[in-house]
A and B are shown apart, each in its own frame.
Chain A
Amino acid sequence: AQTVTQSQPEMSVQEAETVTLSCTYDTSESDYYLFWYKQPPSRQMILVIRQEAYKQQNATENRFSVNFQKAAKSFSLKISDSQLGDAAMYFCAYMGGSQGNLIFGKGTKLSVKP
């Protein structure tokens, strides 16, 4: 079975600085998709970024980028120029190529200090 591990329960970053959130996963599939979702205090799940496993190029979305290391099964999220509004729980999620259900990690709580 596929698993997703986020080893950092909490992280803190100074406003305007850069922070990296870690995620590793375990799978025997070659075709899959990886996601980062943000969950602010309102608890709505908001898509941050998506990565297709067949793409070697790391996905970017404005201040958010990923470091996708397929061989190492690692998928970290880098947030540049952190803003107060970035404070939230961040969930890493895996989707197999043949299934639609998302498998989530336990999340990392990110605090942003002014």
Chain B
Amino acid sequence: EPEVTQTPSHQVTQMGQEVILRCVPISNHLYFYWYRQILGQKVEFLVSFYNNEISEKSEIFDDQFSVERPDGSNFTLKIRSTKLEDSAMYFCASSDRSPRDTQYFGPGTRLTVL
């Protein structure tokens, strides 16, 4: 069964450093998403991406964040200058041909900022 994959599973970085979180959505899916879950809190939407551009973003997704689909399979989230409060679990998700289709999540990347 196709699944969303994410790498790395755990990333530790120093405050102020840049990090790139990688995701491989389900093949042939057209809509891609990033969500964040701070430990013990609910999952929060960051950004959605379709047709090589951002279709929606939350207020959390400020200028420190960017997304990219560098090739036909990867979908990345970059944080330019990490802060302590960026420590969280980051989930990638994808959906088929419509934003109304069910979103399937990857296993997540745990980001720890020291």
Contacts and interface: CB of A to CB of B under 8 A. Distances in A.
Contact of B33 (A44, A100, A105): A100
Interface residues of B, number: 27
A102 B99 CA distance: 10
B100 A104 contact: no
B35 A102 contact: yes
B89 interface: yes
Interface of B: 31, 33, 35, 37, 41-45, 48, 55-56, 58, 89, 91, 93, 95, 99-100, 102-108, 110
B15 to A, nearest CB: 23
B100 A33 contact: yes
A43 interface: yes
24 contacts: A33-B100, A42-B107, A43-B37, A43-B107, A44-B105, A44-B106, A44-B107, A44-B108, A46-B105, A47-B102, A47-B103, A47-B104, A47-B105, A91-B43, A93-B43, A95-B100, A97-B100, A99-B56, A100-B48, A100-B55, A100-B103, A102-B35, A104-B44, A107-B42
